[in-house]
Amino acid sequence: MTSIKNIELKPDEFALYFAGNQGVDLDALANFLKRVSSVARRHGGELVIVGLHEGSLVVKLRAIARSKIAQNAIKEFSDKPIDGSVKVTGLIAAIAGAIIWLMSPTKDVTPIAKAGAEIIDKHQITEISVVTNEKITVVMNEAIAKKIKKKHEIRAVGRASEKRQIAKIVKNQYNLPEIEIMVKDAHQSNLTGEVAIVGDAFHFQPDGYHYWVPIYMRPSSSVQLHPGERYRIGGQIKTLNGQPDQIIAASADLITGGSTK
C-alpha cells in the first residue's frame, strides 16, 4: 500500500491522497477531479494526471501554466496565507492553496467541498489529503464531511423558502429602468454587491436588490471569488425574458471591509 509520506513529486506536481481499502467509486472520483480541474483553470493552469498508485489511491497531478493568468493568480494568492501559509512556490501554491481554502469546513459549502464530502459519505474513503513537496493537508474526513453535509442540508431547506420569496420579489420588483441601471453599472465596472454560494454555483446580489444572480468569471480573469465578500463587478449582464439571468464578469474588485461574515 502506498504511504502518503513516500509520494515523490516534481516541483510542478502535487497529489491527492485518498485513504481507504475499498477503492473509490469512479463517478464520485470523476466529479471530484472535475471540481479540482475547475479550480486550476480559474488560476490559469491545466492539470494532467501523471501517476496513479495502488492501495490507498494516489492521483498525482502536474500543473501546466496556460497563460499570464497563472502569473497573476500566483501574485494574487501569495498575499492570502492558508493555515499559516502554504510553503510551496508558483502555480502549485495557487492551485493547492485554493483547494485547501475552498474545502475548509469553516466556509460556505462549495462544489468541490460537496464533491469531497460525497466520497467520504459513501464510506469508501476515510480521508482526502492534498500533498505537495512541502506539506500534507487533510482537506476531508468523516468529521469534516458531516459538517459539510449538515450545512448543505440547512441551506437546502433555506433555499426552498428563499426561492419562493425570490420568485415573488422578482415578479414584483423587476422593471425596465432598474435593469437598465444594473446593466449600465456592470458595463462601467461599477456594480457593487455580495457574493454567495447558492446551490453549486456562485451568485451575486447587487446592492439594493433582494435577489441573487448567477455570476461567472471570464476565462481571461484570474480573480477567485470568495463567498461572503463584497465586490465591485465589471462585465456583462445577460437577460432572459427581460430579466437578469446571469452575470459574465470581466473584473471583480474586492471591497475592503465588505465581508458580512
pLDDT of residue 55: 59
Alpha helices in the chain (DSSP H): 26-42, 68-78, 90-102, 111-121, 142-173, 176-187
Place of cell 516534481: 10
Is 232:252 a contact under the CB 8 Å cutoff? yes
Q: pLDDT tens, 191-250?
A: 999 998 876 678 999 998 777 899 998 877 778 888 889 999 999 998 877 778 899 999
Report domain extents, the chain: 4-152, 174-254
Rounded Cα–Cα distance for residues 221 and 216 (Å): 10
Confidence of residue 28 (pLDDT cuts 50, 70, 90): confident
Query: Which tops the pLDDT comparison, 86 or 107?
Result: 107
pLDDT of residue 109: 79
Closest Cα partner for 36 from 235, 242, 67, 28?
28
* CA distances from residue 112 to 31, 45, 107 in whole angstroms, order as listed: 9, 17, 12
CATH of 174-254, one of 2.60.40.2220, 2.40.50.500, 3.30.430.20, 3.40.50.300: 2.40.50.500
Question: Residue 20 corresponds to which cell in the numbers above?
Answer: 481507504
* CA distances from residue 211 to 107, 205, 208, 230, 243 in whole angstroms, order as listed: 21, 6, 9, 15, 11
| In the chain, % of residues over pLDDT 70 | 74
Place of cell 501559509: 85
Whether the predicted model's global pTM rises above the 0.85 cut: no
Which is it for strands 243-254 and 213-217: parallel, antiparallel or unpaired?
A: parallel
**Concatenated DSSP letters of 190-254:** -EEEEEEEETTEEEEEETT-S--EEEEE-TT------TT-EEEEEEEEEEETTEEEEEEEEEEEE
Sheet with 13-19: list strands edge to edge. 45-53, 57-65, 13-19, 127-131, 136-141
Angle at CA 163, nearest 5°, toward 107 and 188?
A: 70
The whole-number average pLDDT for the span 23-49 is: 86
The whole-number average pLDDT for the span 94-103 is: 88
Is 233:221 a contact under the CB 8 Å cutoff? no
Rounded Cα–Cα distance for residues 115 and 103 (Å): 10
